Structure 1
Amino acid sequence: MESCTDSNSDLDEELPVFLKIPSQPQSSAPSHRQPIQSSARSDVMTISSDSDDEEPYVPLAHRLKRQQQDERRGIPSCTMKDSPNGFTKIVHLQHQNGHVGESPEKSKAQKRTAEEVQRCKEEALRRKRAREEQQRQKEVQRRGREEGKVQRRAIAEEVKALRPEECLKYMVAAVDPALLQLEGGGALLSSLQALGCTCAIEKQPLPRSVGWRRRTPGAQAADGDCVPENNVVIQLSLDDFIRLSHSYIQEERTGRAECGETLTSWVQGLQRQHPERLLSLVVVGLEQYFRSHKAQSQKKLREAVVGEKQGGAKRKKKTGAADALPELSRVQVEEAMVHLQLHTNVCVRFLSTWNDFVQHITIATKAVAEAPFKRERDNSGFSFHLESEWAGGQKVERSGKGLLQVWRRQVQQLHRVSADMASAVLSCYPSPRLLTQAYSMCQTEKDKMALLSEIQIRRGEGVTSTVRRVGPELSKRVCVLLSSTDPEETLGSNA
């Protein structure tokens, strides 16, 4: 058995007491236990392994807790060794300076050089910068997501603002003050306000004109964040129109340009000044001009026949203002209009009354407001336009009701196939399956192509009804449509 007082043990190491046996009273009976041997060192004791009925001095929970603390601090746990004579020795190493289980290499490693300290500082700074960069990237991504949400919301609002039920709320009709001084000025403002758009009385670059602006979604009526529209309607007075048209007629007759400004040259001057504008002219009262000149011509003829000179002189005084305008016929006005359209691509709208002018401005305002929505709707990429009853498709119920109409439309979508021709084909083959079965029973390819050619088409009723055949062309196209296995094969140039 190892002696606890071994002289070769290190004097610097101290062996604490972990277990202690309480003193037993003296008894005359012989004891079967071996006596406890104590060493000269009072802090280390060994006990016999046979003393199971004696309670330890240090509780087990305390010893386990202390062992865990030592392991966390790097202190090696205590070791237990059995001696040859049955005693157990509990050894716990402790360093002189209080750091248990530390090796000299570890103590030396704690003493870092200046280079190591600097390197550690640089590493810490690098990590800090990496964290800051990562945080900055996260912030940039977050801002990008927020900006994307704002942009998507703005796009959705712009699309919504173009709908027919919403577009008029964002329109601003700019009316020249000169129009309000005319006969229908008040009715024009009332009509635009009843339409739902905003009216702005502003001096326009083009005289006696009405222009439009479109507000961006979210902008107020008083804000300047508006996009001007290209369309402009100019109200041309009857006197100016007659004078300009008459100058054109005189220039055409004489072949000289000294007759004054013509209607075409006047419009071309406006287009050069405002190249971004799409002009349209409106003239009110042209029919009254023609009627008045017709009445004057008839009166002059009657006066010449009857010889009522006195009455004619009085009439001249009353109609002196009307006689001040040059006299133009309808044919001459049409010539001036044709020349204007060919050289300027500008049309003139002739209206009878000012109420018609107010209604025309209202219709033009609604058309300008809905123009972007209609352009986007018509931009479908198809080279053809379906009728209203075709655009919605054909509804088919679970019971199969509607399949016959689907088959009818499939036949009728071929070129130059009317409803009567499709009905004649359906009367013999009410489903595509029956027609494909008939094709499979044909002996040759020629028989397939001519299968439908002899079907009769009846048009009308009674004695006025006519009968004709489907013909080989339609029969061939239907056969190719249902029986061809080549995906690149076409039904023909007129299919």
Structure 2
Amino acid sequence: MREAMQGRDQLPSIGNVLAEDCSEKGQKKQRAKKSVIGIEKEGKRAERMKNRAMMKAEQAQKKALKMAAAEAYRCKKPGECLKYIQVCLDQQLLTAEYGGEILVSLQSAEMQYNIQSNLVPCSIFWTREVQEHFVGEDMEVHVRSRKEEEEEILIVWHWEKVMRLIHAVDLTNHIQSLQLTLPGKKLTLVVYGVEQYFRYHNSSKRQEVRAKVGKLKTSKKTENFENTPRISRDKFDTALTELQLFADCSHRLVEKPHDLGTFIRQFSKAIAEVPFKLVKYFYWM
């Protein structure tokens, strides 16, 4: 009996068991709660780090895009844009009396040029190195470039050729036939030295000079004047007006080698600055 009582004393009481169970469950709940809180904290911290990284990446991208835009704008600015334009000169231009002046004028502006055989003899066209600035995956500014032909073309003709075409009533037709071989191009005709032709025929001493042709040795230039069909100033101007109306071809009259070189340099500069002027135009619209 006494031993049985002692055995019962050694067994845990129901109250103690319940208390221990409650305590253990409470601890488990606390541990679970702490674990949940810890996971939530880790999640929030990871989210903050992710947001911070995204913001940093966005800032880097914005900075790179701004740099790309600034570099693209810089390449279009006057002076800088000349580095990306090449003047393509037909080789026949250099055999004329003004060939040297053309090269000197382009060199004075540090313009790039290439002497080649163009599709249209005595013509000039331009190519542009177009630079595209973009932001890569590394958030750095990169550049890729391509070459494009400009739509403008200059054709330089001596006055004698123009006068013969006008005399044959073929100037506009001839230009239109060239335009068919150059689709999408805008032609400008440069007529060289025509004023000396008109001065010769308008000279008060013309009859005297003609009377002495058989007696005096004439120059090659005088022979050219004499052998070229006689075209009046009015007929000449009318032919150029028709050229503008029916062939959409503008013209420029140039008298001296230096003037032609200057005109080609200025024309080249104007073409180089077109992208910059377009940016300014659309900015102010």
Whether the 8 Å contact between 1:158 and 1:216 is mirrored in structure 2 is: no
Instruction: State the superposition RMSD in angstroms.
Output: 3.7
Whether the 8 Å contact between 1:157 and 1:217 is mirrored in structure 2 is: no
2:83 corresponding residue in structure 1: 169
- Alignment partner of 1:329 is 2:232: yes
2:70 corresponding residue in structure 1: 156
1:285 corresponding residue in structure 2: 193
Question: Could you say what secondary structure the match of 1:313 adopts?
Answer: coil
1:235 corresponding residue in structure 2: 156
Q: Give the partner amino acid of 2:104.
A: S
Alpha-carbon deviations, 1:427-447, whole Å to 9, x = none? Answer: xxxxxxxxxxxxxxxxxxxxx
1:343 corresponding residue in structure 2: 246
- The structural deviation recorded for 1:10 is 5.5
Whether the 8 Å contact between 2:159 and 2:191 is mirrored in structure 1 is: yes
| Higher RCO, 1 vs 2 (CA within 8 Å, ≥6 residues apart) | 2
Higher strand proportion (structure 1 or 2): 2
Bigger shift: residues 272-281 or 356-365: 272-281
**In structure 1, what is the Cα distance between the partners aligned to 2:209 and 2:106?**
49
Question: Could you say what secondary structure the match of 2:191 adopts?
Answer: strand
**In structure 2, what is the Cα distance between the partners aligned to 1:348 and 1:275?**
19
The two structures have a TM-score, normalised by structure 2, of 0.69
Q: Where does 1:252-267 land on structure 2 (aligned, <5 Å)?
A: 262-267=170-175
**Which of the numbers 308, 311, 314 marks the counterpart of 2:215?**
314
Cα distance, 1:183–1:9 mapped onto 2, change above 3 Å: farther
**Which of the numbers 140, 147, 150 marks the counterpart of 1:226?**
147
**Which of the numbers 216, 223, 244 marks the counterpart of 2:165?**
244
Whether the 8 Å contact between 1:171 and 1:369 is mirrored in structure 2 is: yes
Larger Rg: 1
Question: Could you say what secondary structure the match of 2:131 adopts?
Answer: coil
- The structural deviation recorded for 1:298 is 3.4
**Which of the numbers 273, 277, 283 marks the counterpart of 1:370?**
273
Question: Could you say what secondary structure the match of 1:169 adopts?
Answer: helix
Whether the 8 Å contact between 2:104 and 2:261 is mirrored in structure 1 is: no
Cα distance, 1:314–1:294 mapped onto 2, change above 3 Å: farther
Whether the 8 Å contact between 2:200 and 2:206 is mirrored in structure 1 is: no
Give the number of aligned pairs.
235
Cα distance, 1:227–1:145 mapped onto 2, change above 3 Å: farther
Question: Could you say what secondary structure the match of 1:211 adopts?
Answer: strand
2:44 corresponding residue in structure 1: none
- Alignment partner of 1:298 is 2:205: yes
Q: Give the partner amino acid of 2:248.
A: N
Cα distance, 1:370–1:292 mapped onto 2, change above 3 Å: same
- The structural deviation recorded for 1:195 is 1.2
- Alignment partner of 1:184 is 2:92: no
Q: Give the partner amino acid of 1:237.
A: H
Question: Could you say what secondary structure the match of 2:117 adopts?
Answer: coil
- Alignment partner of 1:271 is 2:174: no
Bigger shift: residues 184-193 or 147-156: 147-156
- The structural deviation recorded for 1:145 is 8.5
Cα distance, 1:338–1:153 mapped onto 2, change above 3 Å: same
2:8 corresponding residue in structure 1: 8
- Alignment partner of 1:197 is 2:118: no
Q: Where does 1:196-215 land on structure 2 (aligned, <5 Å)?
A: 196-215=110-129
Question: Could you say what secondary structure the match of 1:217 adopts?
Answer: strand
Q: Give the partner amino acid of 2:228.
A: L
Q: Give the partner amino acid of 1:217.
A: Q
Q: Give the partner amino acid of 2:72.
A: E
Question: Could you say what secondary structure the match of 1:378 adopts?
Answer: helix
Higher helix proportion (structure 1 or 2): 2
- The structural deviation recorded for 1:350 is 1.0
- Unmatched 5+ residue regions in structure 1? 14-78, 80-92, 94-100, 104-138, 249-261, 383-495
Cα distance, 1:7–1:185 mapped onto 2, change above 3 Å: same
Question: Could you say what secondary structure the match of 1:206 adopts?
Answer: coil
- The structural deviation recorded for 1:370 is 1.8
Alpha-carbon deviations, 1:236-270, whole Å to 9, x = none? Answer: 1222111111111xxxxxxxxxxxxx100011112
- The structural deviation recorded for 1:229 is 1.2
Question: Could you say what secondary structure the match of 2:205 adopts?
Answer: helix
Whether the 8 Å contact between 2:72 and 2:132 is mirrored in structure 1 is: no
**In structure 1, what is the Cα distance between the partners aligned to 2:276 and 2:248?**
24
- The structural deviation recorded for 1:345 is 1.9
- The structural deviation recorded for 1:164 is 1.8
**In structure 2, what is the Cα distance between the partners aligned to 1:273 and 1:144?**
50
Whether the 8 Å contact between 2:130 and 2:145 is mirrored in structure 1 is: no
**In structure 1, what is the Cα distance between the partners aligned to 2:24 and 2:145?**
80
Bigger shift: residues 149-158 or 170-179: 149-158
Question: Could you say what secondary structure the match of 2:154 adopts?
Answer: strand
**In structure 2, what is the Cα distance between the partners aligned to 1:303 and 1:169?**
52
- The structural deviation recorded for 1:317 is 6.2
- The structural deviation recorded for 1:339 is 1.3
Q: Where does 1:475-494 land on structure 2 (aligned, <5 Å)?
A: none
Cα distance, 1:181–1:143 mapped onto 2, change above 3 Å: farther
- The structural deviation recorded for 1:148 is 7.1
Question: Could you say what secondary structure the match of 1:372 adopts?
Answer: helix
Q: Give the partner amino acid of 1:6.
A: Q
Identity fraction in percent: 30
**In structure 2, what is the Cα distance between the partners aligned to 1:349 and 1:181?**
21
Cα distance, 1:192–1:321 mapped onto 2, change above 3 Å: closer
Whether the 8 Å contact between 1:268 and 1:344 is mirrored in structure 2 is: yes
Cα distance, 1:144–1:314 mapped onto 2, change above 3 Å: farther
